[in-house]
């Protein structure tokens, strides 16, 4: 019952959305000349500006309902989402194949914020996603990437299970990990965030870069979605097109159903050289009262750790000494943000 109610809050705005996309293309030609009966002076609202506002309100209210973990507002026909990219759930624990990156706060603000079309427009043909950069933003402000990591430094547009971070142990228990810019992001369903979110947003967990909503694993009534296309989306019950989380690849967004021109993926920090693969199992990530954040892990049956703290715009890192294979450093190293 609760579920159905919350889903209805999703249905209404998307209904408006569908209406607008119709009106947007064929308003003049389809407005039937109903001049016969001078009925009640229907306040035929000029739909476009009001609808933009309605869509803005609908989307920004989801971020508020999710706990205001990310801040959202609208600029023209775009939804703008600002965040530091960090999750308030447990990050990194559960990784068994670590790339030696850590989750640092990211500057996804101002001109480096996410920009997503408010009014999604279906593309003639779906476009591929790449393994570099976000394909969607979750309501907690954490970016969501496609199901592949970049191979040999190139974009990963074609899915290969060998490069699926989830299947090779690179994701934590919440579906995320940190990338080469020490940028935390999800590659699969953000299950811990979803559990914290509950029914607060009518099943919406975020928005894809083409503007379509991303819904949780189920449709209304706890039904698993059927007939998902290659992009992991479908359209039913007048809801309009939407993506779903799935247990199997592509997990979130397999390709873009809509146009992504104009959408903006923020840049990440590039503070320190990227690490390489280490068959380490991360067991804890904690921040102490002294301000130091520590990643604990086991490697070759030994307990190891990397700690870091920000002081005056610079990060001080403490690495194991001697350096572990493919480590970005050893001992104490300072990294300062480039102006
Ligand atoms: Zn990644
Ligand atoms: Zn659905």
pLDDT digits (tens, 9 = 90+) for 327-336: 999 999 999 9
Task: Please tell me the predicted confidence (pLDDT) of residue 215.
Answer: 98
Task: Please tell me the predicted confidence (pLDDT) of residue 130.
Answer: 84
Whether residue 155 is predicted with pLDDT greater than 60 in this model: the reply is yes
Relative to the alpha carbon of 203, which ligand is closest? 2
Provide, rounded to the nearest whole percent, the portion of the chain with pLDDT above 90: 75
Q: Ligand 2 centroid to 246 CA: how many Å?
A: 11
pLDDT in tens, 234-285: 999 999 999 999 999 999 999 999 999 889 999 999 899 999 999 999 999 9
Q: Ligand 1 centroid to 319 CA: how many Å?
A: 22
pLDDT in tens, 171-228: 999 999 999 999 999 999 999 999 999 999 999 999 999 999 999 999 988 999 999 9
Task: Please tell me the predicted confidence (pLDDT) of residue 39.
Answer: 44
What is the rounded average pLDDT of the residues 14-42?
36
Q: Ligand 1 centroid to 169 CA: how many Å?
A: 12
CA 197 vs CA 55, 68, 209, 339: distances in Å: 21, 12, 21, 37
Alpha-carbon distance of 256 to 121, in angstroms, equals 11
Q: Give the 3-state secondary structure of residue 47.
A: helix
Alpha-carbon distance of 297 to 279, in angstroms, equals 10
Q: Ligand 1 centroid to 128 CA: how many Å?
A: 17
pLDDT in tens, 205-216: 999 999 999 999
Relative to the alpha carbon of 103, which ligand is closest? 1
Relative to the alpha carbon of 239, which ligand is closest? 2
Instruction: Please report which confidence band the pLDDT of residue 52 belongs to, taking 50, 70 and 90 as the band edges.
Output: confident
The backbone torsions φ and ψ at residue 297, rounded to the nearest 5 degrees and listed phi first, read: -155, 160
Relative to the alpha carbon of 145, which ligand is closest? 1
CA 41 vs CA 16, 35, 38, 204: distances in Å: 22, 12, 8, 37
Q: Ligand 2 centroid to 73 CA: how many Å?
A: 26
Relative to the alpha carbon of 150, which ligand is closest? 1
Contact assessment for residue 131 and residue 157, using Cβ atoms and an 8 Å cutoff? yes
Task: Please tell me the predicted confidence (pLDDT) of residue 121.
Answer: 95
Q: What mean pLDDT, rounded, does the chain reach? A: 86
CA 59, 62, 68, 71: dihedral to nearest 10 degrees?
-10
Q: Ligand 1 centroid to 206 CA: how many Å?
A: 18
Please report the beta strands in the chain, taking only residues with DSSP state E, as ranges in sequence order. Answer: 71-75, 78-82, 114-117, 122-128, 136-138, 143-144, 176-178, 184-186, 204-208, 213-215, 233-234, 242-244, 255-258, 281-287, 293-299, 302-311, 314-319, 331-336
Q: Ligand 2 centroid to 220 CA: how many Å?
A: 8
Could you give the count of Cα atoms lying within 13 Å of 185 in the half-sphere of its Cβ?
Answer: 28
Of the ranges 24-28, 144-148, 289-293, 319-323, which one carries the lowest mean pLDDT score? 24-28
Instruction: Please report which confidence band the pLDDT of residue 158 belongs to, taking 50, 70 and 90 as the band edges.
Output: confident
What is the rounded average pLDDT of the residues 117-140?
94
The residue behind tokens 């029914």 is 199
What is the rounded average pLDDT of the residues 151-168?
81
Provide, rounded to the nearest whole percent, the portion of the chain with pLDDT above 70: 83
């Amino acid at each position: 019952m609760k579920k159905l109610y919350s889903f209805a809050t999703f249905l209404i705005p998307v209904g408006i959305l569908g209406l607008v996309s119709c009106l947007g293309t064929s308003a003049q030609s389809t407005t039937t000349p109903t001049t016969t009966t001078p009925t009640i002076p229907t306040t035929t609202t000029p739909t476009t500006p009001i609808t933009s506002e309605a869509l803005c309100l609908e989307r920004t209210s989801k971020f508020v309902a999710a706990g205001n973990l990310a801040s959202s507002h609208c600029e023209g026909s775009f939804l703008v989402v600002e965040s530091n990219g960090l999750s308030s759930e447990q990050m990194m624990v559960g990784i068994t194949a670590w790339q030696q990156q850590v989750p640092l706060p990211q500057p996804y603000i101002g001109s480096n914020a996410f920009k997503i079309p408010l009014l999604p427009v279906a593309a003639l043909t779906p476009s591929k996603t790449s393994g570099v950069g976000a394909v969607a933003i979750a309501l907690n402000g954490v970016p969501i990437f496609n199901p592949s990591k970049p191979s040999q430094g190139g974009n990963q547009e074609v899915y290969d299970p060998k490069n699926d971070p989830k299947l090779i142990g690179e994701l934590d228990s919440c579906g995320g990990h940190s990338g080469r810019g020490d940028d935390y992001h999800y590659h699969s369903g953000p299950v811990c965030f979803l559990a914290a979110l509950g029914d607060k947003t009518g099943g919406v967990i975020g928005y894809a870069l083409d503007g379509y909503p991303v819904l949780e694993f189920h449709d209304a009534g706890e039904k698993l979605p059927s007939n998902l296309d290659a992009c992991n989306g479908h359209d039913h019950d007048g809801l309009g097109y939407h993506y779903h989380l799935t247990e199997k690849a592509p997990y979130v967004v397999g390709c873009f159903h809509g146009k992504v021109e104009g959408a903006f993926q923020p840049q990440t920090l590039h503070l320190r050289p990227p690490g390489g693969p280490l068959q380490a199992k991360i067991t804890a990530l904690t921040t102490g009262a002294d301000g130091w954040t520590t990643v604990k892990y086991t490697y070759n049956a030994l307990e190891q750790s990397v700690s870091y703290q920000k002081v005056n715009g610079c990060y001080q890192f403490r690495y194991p000494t001697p350096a572990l294979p493919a480590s970005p450093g050893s001992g104490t190293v300072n990294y300062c943000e480039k102006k």
